[in-house]
Amino acid sequence: MQKTRQGILKLLKSNGGLATDELSEKLGISATAVRRHLGALEEQEMVFRRKEQRGVGRPCYIYSL
């Protein structure tokens, strides 16, 4: 497994659930790159997402194990 994906799994395990922008900030990579990794992890059923409304505007996805 790639080092970045291992980092994502470690962050999700220690923080419960995080949004794409939060993961991007913690890992120091773009949100687009995080979404690609999350998509691959989601296909493998290693992470799951749920919609969450945070303030005004579109809801965001929160990823967790």
The answer, yes or no, to whether residue 1 has pLDDT greater than 80, is no
What integer pLDDT is reported at residue 54 of this predicted model? 85
What integer pLDDT is reported at residue 41 of this predicted model? 97
The 17-19 sheet, strands edge to edge: 17-19, 60-64, 48-52
What integer pLDDT is reported at residue 45 of this predicted model? 96
Q: Contact, 64 vs 15, CB < 8 A? A: no
Model pLDDT for residues 3-57, shown as the tens digit of each residue: 999 999 999 999 989 999 999 999 999 999 999 999 999 999 999 999 999 889 9
What integer pLDDT is reported at residue 4 of this predicted model? 95
